[in-house]
Structure 1
């Protein structure tokens, strides 16, 4: 399991989620729960690009006040990349 701290910020009617360690992973949701669920998908997809490029995953920073930890399974990341390559 890999964990990255996420920043949740109200943006109008939505909650924006960003990752300081994985800037490619950006998403939003209507509620905090929705935003965090979508954050998992965004993080998995962004990290799958690192796999494709044979790059190491960014080192997760320590969570600070106001951030939420988002966890993903490495197997999901590799499965996403494999599915994208077979399309």
Structure 2
């Protein structure tokens, strides 16, 4: 899973990285490799911010000609999809705990982007929300 980013040469050297779909995500690095690493870090930080503010996180999209893909772990992307589904359905964490019969602290961990959650658990939560988790290898 990736998000489009624009890498611009910085006047002082290195690269400035911005994300057209996530205006809060801005970072830089002295080398392209460092800029990629910093971009992945700021992207994950933005996911955490959006989650804490109960805001939908933008869906990823196809790259345009001047954009570079910055990756997010698949587990984080699944949690973005889950978070966005909850917002679309106006389901709170407390309601989700009741619907899934999962204790509220565990729901909090499930919805923490950096917490390792079993894919079976995420699939079960999606099922409770009327969605089916499908995995495709391309």
Q: TM-score, length-normalised on structure 1?
A: 0.79
Structure exhibiting the larger radius of gyration computed from Cα positions:
2
The number of aligned residues is 78
Question: Which residue does 1:24 correspond to in 2?
Answer: 24
Q: Secondary structure at the match of 2:16?
A: strand
Query: Given the alignment, which residue of 94, 107, 114 partners 1:79?
Result: 114
Give the C-alpha shift of residue 60 in structure 1.
2.3
Structure 1 residue 65, shift from structure 2 partner = 1.0
TM-score by length of 2: 0.52
Distance of 1:33 and 1:55 partners within structure 2? 30
Unaligned runs of 5+ in 1: 81-87
Q: Distance in 1 between matches of 2:47 and 2:25?
A: 8
Asked if the contact 1:21/1:61 (under 8 Å) is kept, the reply is: no
Aligned partners of 1:8 and 1:18 also within 8 Å: yes
CA–CA distance in structure 2, aligned partners of residues 19 and 61 of structure 1: 12
Higher-helix-fraction structure: 2
State the structure with bigger RCO (CA 8 A, min sep 6), 1 or 2: 1
- Structure 2 match to 1:38: 38
The answer for unaligned runs of 5 or more in structure 2 is: 80-111, 116-138
Deviations 1:47-80 (CA, angstroms, capped at 9, x unpaired):
11111012221122321112110111217x6228
Could you tell me how far apart the structure 2 residues matched to 1:55 and 1:69 are? 23
SS at the partner of 2:5? strand
- Between structures 1 and 2, the one with greater strand share: 1
